Amino acid sequence: MKYDNVMEYNKDEATRAREIAKSKFLANDITGAKKFAMKVQFLYPDLKGIAQMVCTFEVLVLLGEKE
């Protein structure tokens, strides 16, 4: 598999994982949302907004642990 094909595959997988992360967040599963957001960041770190999404979910998980 060529490098470009791998990157395109990773981008597609990352996009799907980002949608799952959003769904988990909307279902109030912050830990699950963080897990999928981190998967997105691993697969395709250049995906727009993913660093902010991971950071936001990390903060929300920490806040949830303090309650």
Structure tokens at 20: 């799952």
Q: pLDDT band at residue 1, thresholds of 50, 70 and 90?
A: low
Distance CA 39, CA 55 (A): 13
- How many other CB atoms are there within 10 angstroms of residue 39's CB atom? 19
Structural domain tally of the chain? 1
Domain range for 62 is: 3-66
Predicted pLDDT of residue 22: 98
Instruction: Please name which of 63, 62, 61, 66 lies closest in space to residue 25, comparing C-alpha atoms.
Output: 61
Contact between 60 and 47 (Cβ < 8 Å)? no
pLDDT tens column, 34-47: 999 999 999 999 99
State mean pLDDT over 12-31: 97
